[in-house]
Structure 1
Amino acid sequence: MTSEALLAYAHLLAILTMVVFLTSEAVLCRPEWMNASVVDRLARVDLIYGIAAGAVFATGLARVFLGAKGGAWYGSNWLLYVKFGLFVAVALLSILPTIRFIRWKRTLRATGALPGPDEVRATRRLVMVQAHLIPLIPLAAVFLARGFGAA
């Protein structure tokens, strides 16, 4: 019982951390606010976001395989695959912003140039798509936890 509660807590903590740092990216990634310190901060925030996403994945796996319900129970429910698919979609959408944040930081260090407003807007759009997909994951989770979608 205690281990199940701790697994749930670790998973929720990782999720909240991921959401906070994605929100920070969305707030910072605006053409009108772009300056050298924002470029540096975006790269740092994105790194923490990526680490938190990895923690979400690891704690999710731990809940599936070490949790009270077990892998067989989760594995037979199509909602688990919906959750996983949404998580993968968010992860794939995060690749381009990560690459851009790293490139912006390198360019800033090499030439002092900031990213153009159009590229910043396009990058923010990708961050916002992630932010709008993430709330669908716990929607699938609450139905999964209550046995909906079971075979």
Structure 2
Amino acid sequence: MLDLTLAVLHHILVFGLVAMLAIERTLLKAPVIETRRLAGLDGGYGLTAVLVLAVGVARVIWGGKGWAFYEANPFFWAKVGFFAVIGLISILPTIAFIKWARATKANADWQPDATAVASARRWVGIELLLIIPLVACAAAMARWPF
């Protein structure tokens, strides 16, 4: 039962990550950028990513397949690699969102320039695209060895 609970929680958290990224990307299309909302949402995204990692580690340690399955599974390591790359990429928009929120706090009418918004939107889009191979690795991992 623990294995099932951890799997369900892991999946729900991953769906939450995808939803938050999609919302961030949508907010970055708006004519007026809600900088504080973006920063808050991105904070939730970061917290959720930490929870995904923690639950994933719990699945590896206490889940039904055991460490030996994951240790030898190339798709597990590829999935971990994609997760790490997505996490590293997410640093760039996060820094921008924090700076933007601070600037808005100092001046309520302040807005980031279009180039900065386009850059943040591009990075968030890349994060979303990288979720596709991450999910493909997760599916392959679960079925390994073929």
Both proteins in one fold, TM over 0.5: yes
Q: Which residue of structure 1 lines up, in the alignment, with residue 134 of structure 2?
A: 137
- 1:65-104 per-position Cα deviation (integer Å, ceiling 9, x unaligned): 1101101111111111100000000000000100100000
Q: CA deviation at 1:111?
A: 3.0
Output the TM-score relative to the length of structure 2.
Answer: 0.94
What pairs with 1:87-126 in structure 2 (closer than 5 Å)? 87-112=83-108, 113-126=110-123
Q: Which residue of 2 aligns with 1:12?
A: 11
SS of corresponding position for 1:120: helix
Partner of 2:48: 52
Q: What is the rounded CA distance, in whole Å, between the counterparts of 2:129 and 2:118 in structure 1?
A: 16
| Unaligned runs of at least 5 residues, structure 2 | none
In structure 1, C-alpha distance between the alignment counterparts of 2:105 and 2:132, rounded to whole Å? 36
Note if 1:40 corresponds to 2:39: no
Distance in 1 separating the partners of 2:92 and 2:140: 31
How far the C-alpha of 1:28 sits from its partner, in A, is 0.3
TM-score scaled to structure 1, two decimals? Answer: 0.91
- Cα separation, 1, equivalents of 2:49 and 2:31: 26
User: In the TM superposition, what are the counterparts of 1:22-33 in structure 2 within 5 Å?
Assistant: 22-30=21-29, 32-33=30-31
Partner residue in 2 for 1:146? 143
Task: Report deviation, 1:132.
Answer: 0.3
Identity %, equivalent residues: 35
Does 2:82 match 1:80? Answer: no
Stretches (4+) displaced over 4 A: none
| Structure 1: runs of 5+ lacking an equivalent | none
RMSD: 1.2
Number of aligned positions between the proteins = 145
